[in-house]
């Protein structure tokens, strides 16, 4: 649909009416977008900062459709769930409130999840408000994970990990990082595994996954920028551990699956045990 002459004035970011609208939405911490016929025409400051652009024109020039910014993951609304990409806000509007959730990467390549409020106050215009719910999702995941812990050790349960490790593959692709695994084997027979897990956890990041892999072995799965990044972590575990341990670390090669990386780590640990 063609934009009428009076609409051109409204869509000009230097127009007084646009400035009034912007002065209101710029006070909001949520990301707010004014859409005209499914095309963004005004962004509030929070959104411009999030995307690191200076205007709607700059956004369109760099990214094209706003729909392109939505991460294509089954848990969220994205382009793959839209029948008509030219009228995608209609598809979003038709969803139940709980399903109006998208994920976008900030300009720092940090993933965020947003609930989306959709309003159509005037014909052909839509106001989208993106409320960051990333921390709420993290809290919910942490609560759910309480039922996925190996009770004896306090590490993640192996069965839970094997059912969810695809998400770790997705996270690596999502963040453009490499997957790495370190198998840590407890050599001492009489050591308390709960104390052992606490010892390891004190030397790793909160985002790293520590999994009970065997009776005396634990799998550490994590994301890194380069293979060299495994060295500080494994050295810290080895040097600060209060237990006698063996380590085997493998890093993702050529986008291989985490299953294959773990298989190589298991082989490395067996080889080290036999020497």
The predicted-structure confidence for 239-272, as pLDDT tens digits, reads as follows: 998 899 999 999 999 888 889 999 999 999 988 7
Residues 6+ apart with CB under 8 A from 191: 243
Query: Of the given ranges (10-14, 69-73, 119-123, 145-149), which has the lowest mean pLDDT?
Result: 10-14
Per-residue pLDDT of 84-128, as tens digits, reads 888 899 999 999 988 999 988 888 877 788 999 999 888 888 999
Predicted pLDDT at 2? 39
CB 21 within 8 A of CB 45: no
Instruction: Say what angle helices 158-175 and 258-273 make with each other, to 10 degrees.
Output: 120
Distance CA 60, CA 214 (A): 52
**Rounded mean pLDDT, 189-211:** 89
CA–CA separation, 139 and 134 (whole Å): 9
CA nearest neighbour of 186 among 174, 176, 195, 177: 195
pLDDT cut 90: percent of the chain above it: 47
Q: Are 211 and 221 in contact (CB under 8 A)?
A: yes
* Residue 7 scores a pLDDT above 60: no
- Select the more confidently predicted residue: 246 or 9: 246
């Amino acid at each position: 649909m063609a934009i009428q002459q009076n609409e051109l004035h409204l869509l000009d970011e230097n127009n007084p009416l646009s400035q009034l609208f912007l002065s209101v939405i710029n006070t909001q911490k949520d990301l707010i977008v004014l859409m005209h016929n499914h095309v963004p025409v005004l962004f509030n400051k929070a959104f411009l900062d999030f995307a690191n652009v200076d205007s709607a024109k700059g956004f369109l020039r760099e990214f094209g459709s706003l729909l392109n910014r939505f991460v294509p993951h089954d848990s969220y609304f994205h382009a793959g769930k839209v029948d008509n990409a030219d009228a995608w806000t209609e598809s979003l509007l038709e969803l139940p409130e709980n399903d109006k959730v998208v994920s976008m990467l900030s300009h720092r390549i940090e993933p965020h999840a947003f609930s989306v409020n959709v309003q159509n106050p005037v014909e052909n215009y839509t106001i989208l408000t993106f409320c960051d719910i990333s921390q709420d999702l993290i809290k919910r995941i942490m609560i759910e994970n309480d039922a996925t812990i190996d009770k004896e050790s306090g590490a993640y349960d192996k069965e839970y990990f094997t059912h969810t490790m695809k998400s770790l593959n997705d996270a690596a692709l999502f963040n453009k990082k490499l997957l790495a695994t370190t198998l840590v084997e407890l050599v001492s027979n009489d050591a308390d595994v709960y104390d052992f897990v606490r010892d390891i956890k004190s030397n790793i990041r909160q985002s790293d996954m520590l999994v009970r892999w065997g009776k005396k072995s634990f799998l550490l799965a994590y994301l890194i920028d380069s293979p060299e990044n495994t060295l500080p972590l494994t050295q810290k575990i080895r040097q600060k551990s209060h237990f006698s341990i063996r380590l085997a670390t493998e890093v993702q090669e050529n986008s291989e699956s985490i299953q294959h990386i773990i298989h190589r780590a298991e082989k490395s640990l067996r080889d080290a045990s036999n020497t």
